[in-house]
Amino acid sequence: MANVVVVGAQWGDEGKGKIVDWLSERADVVARFQGGHNAGHTLVIDGAVYKLSLLPSGIVRGGKLSVIGNGVVLDPWALLAEIDKLRGQGVDVSPENLMIAENTPLILPVHGELDRAREAQASVAKIGTTGRGIGPAYEDKVGRRSVRVADLADPETLALRIDRLLVHHDALRRGLGLDPIDRAALEAALAEVAPKILPYAAPVWKVLNEARRAGKRILFEGAQGALLDIDFGTYPFVTSSNTLAGMAATGTGLGPGAIDFVLGIVKAYTTRVGEGPFPTELHDGDGQRLGERGHEFGTVTGRKRRCGWFDAVLVRQTCATSGVSGIALTKLDVLDGFDVLKICTGYELDGKRLDYLPTAANHQARVTPIYEELPGWPGSTAGARSWADLPAEAIKYVRRVEELIDCPVALLSTSPERDDTILVRDPFAD
């Protein structure tokens, strides 16, 4: 059976939630492998809207095992709140259908406090973080001072972890003008949350390897997008984890040989939340129209997304770095009614043409897009479920996107409804 990795191939918000839900119907296990509760998916199923941040999208489907892998940083209080909200919508969440890797690092209240204090410094350029402590939690992971899920069951180890954590964080807090960490309050909070989280703890690497040997289909779900990758994104305006497909292996404990198909989710135009370079950003009526028609507001933050034309240079680059087998092109219907559409096919920098986004931040900020114009279409693509339902100009647009990014379309999404999807190539059939 094929195992599929789903990753965003732009700056996130590409519509991964719907696609993962669409695929999860035929998966046995859905595994989240990086990020934290700064990411969000919106699912629309039979008219019901589910907003997820930490839980894998498969949790809303009965008979599936959902897994939170060790590549995630987990805010236990945010997770419990999300579970309670879903239960209020009639979704069953229990240790029978949700597992958390025992070696998953926790996001603690101190991480959020540090995140927000740093972002509030007037003298430092803002990164545009959500202030939820994701970055500081990843810093503690690589600094070897994280409190991990398994530590909640071991008071002696937990005390040592907190010792190491406080030495580091109290020094930082003094420099930022914050009070020292209240150790007793932190210990009390962890003691209170431990019995609620520990029932979900499991050796996820072992569970997934056994599932693979048993022929189960595993769907790996990424958060954010490839352009926010800590190594290959628009640094420093990135997230604090690797968002590329390769992280599916290290973020769950299943080797890279288990990945059979990488599906890159790509919006038919481009959006971005927060700070950082955006070569095709529009500040005119077309940009406003894209935002309004696409309902471009962040699932988690509610922040308005910046909008621009499709950037084939960036998507070609992310398809390469993630080894994308095929893309799911979403929100094609948002382009309905435009007389002319533009696609960025290259950049110009200091009189030279580039076919990739340069690494240097100064160069990223100064590139200007080179556009190719295509005719729009007067008809509607909304709700289309076959090629025959699409205007000829829309098909030409999709085909041109495929040519420019050097990657075929596997799925085409024409509305938020899961069934409004054109299947070109079945990722699970590979």
Q: Please list the active-site residues.
A: 13, 41
d(CA 280, CA 192): 48
Tokens of 175: 């420099």
d(CA 225, CA 266): 10
Count of alpha carbons within 13 Å of 141, Cβ hemisphere only? 24
Count of alpha carbons within 13 Å of 180, Cβ hemisphere only? 8
Other C-beta atoms lying within 10 Å of the C-beta of residue 129: 20
d(CA 137, CA 348): 38
List, in sequence order, every residue forming a beta bridge with 72; answer none if it has no partner. Answer: 35
d(CA 97, CA 92): 8
Asked if 152 and 79 count as a contact pair (C-beta separation under 8 A), the reply is: no
- Tell me how many degrees the CA angle 366-371-372 measures, rounded to the nearest 5: 165
d(CA 167, CA 183): 11
Question: Tokens 């696409």, residue?
Answer: 294
